[in-house]
Amino acid sequence: MSGTEALIALADRAVSYGDVERTVDYLRSGLCELMGSGELKLPERVLRCCPDHYARRLLHRDTEHGYSIVAMTWGPNQGTPLHDHGGLWCVEGVWLGSIEVQQYELREHDGERFRFEKCGSFQAGIGSAGCLIPPHEYHLIRNPGGAPAVSVHIYGGDMSRMVRAVVDDPNRRVTEVAEKDFDDLIEQVAKWYAYAYAPKEPVLADLEG
């Protein structure tokens, strides 16, 4: 298999287990093997950085098995705010460069006020992979280096539409939105944090600024 075919085949096998923990464990180890062997080849377009925010590029959306694969391209020092994945599990691996992940736990919830606490961080290099399983899914990601980085993310659902996804401050408020409000939220997030998602159907388009 060439290109992303081996990755898609891996994901098909993993989701067939029907058990989240078994699925993400199989995906994580398999993704490490594909990247370590050099078998995983990504399209050249994933190497293009956007000047003021990271880029999300859809590699595969599987409507039959209910998962999606996205490549994220990070310019130097680009990153996300604190966010979750709307209740979806995720396996992510580093294909190029390195990324830093800061994890958080939700400690208190009072109306619209939420208190988060840092619970660990790690820097991941080429060939490494990790996972997030709800409810332990709050985190931020950034590229701490001076060169571009590319990561591969496999989600247990369609990440072009999310029900809740953005925390606007670790010590203040979580913004919870319905699907119909998601496009408006993205415009706000792009202004607040100089980054963006691409939520519109039918494809997760390249974000080129």
Q: What is the DSSP string of 150-196?
A: EEEEEESS-TTS-SEEEES-TTSBEEE--GGGHHHHHHHHHHHHS--
Q: How far apart are CA 177 and CA 164, in angstroms?
A: 5
**pLDDT of 21 higher than 80:** yes
- Residue whose tokens read 């100089």: 194
Closest CA to 118 of 134, 100, 130, 106: 106
State the residue range of the domain holding 124: 5-193
Domain count along the chain:
1
Return the pLDDT at 61.
92
Residue 120 or 160, more confident? 120
Residue 95 or 173, more confident? 95
Whether 151 contacts 95, CB under 8 Å? yes
Return the pLDDT at 187.
37
Query: CA end-to-end span of the chain, whole Å?
Result: 33
In a domain, 198, yes or no: no
- Residue whose tokens read 């058990």: 19
pTM beyond 0.85: the answer is: no
> pLDDT per residue over 160-181, tens digit each?
554 444 454 544 444 443 333 3
> pLDDT per residue over 55-93, tens digit each?
999 999 999 999 999 999 999 999 988 888 878 899 999
Diameter over CA atoms, the chain: 51
121: confidence class by pLDDT, cuts 50, 70, 90: confident
**Of 102-116, 124-138, 153-167, 191-205, where does mean pLDDT reach its minimum?**
191-205
Find the mean pLDDT for residues 155-162: 73
In a domain, 91, yes or no: yes
In a domain, 116, yes or no: yes
In a domain, 22, yes or no: yes
- The CATH code of the domain that includes 21 is 2.60.120.10
Q: How many residues does the chain have?
A: 209
Closest CA to 86 of 158, 173, 152, 168: 158
In a domain, 204, yes or no: no
In a domain, 207, yes or no: no
Find the mean pLDDT for residues 134-162: 86
Q: How far apart are CA 103 and CA 122, in angstroms?
A: 9
Return the pLDDT at 176.
40
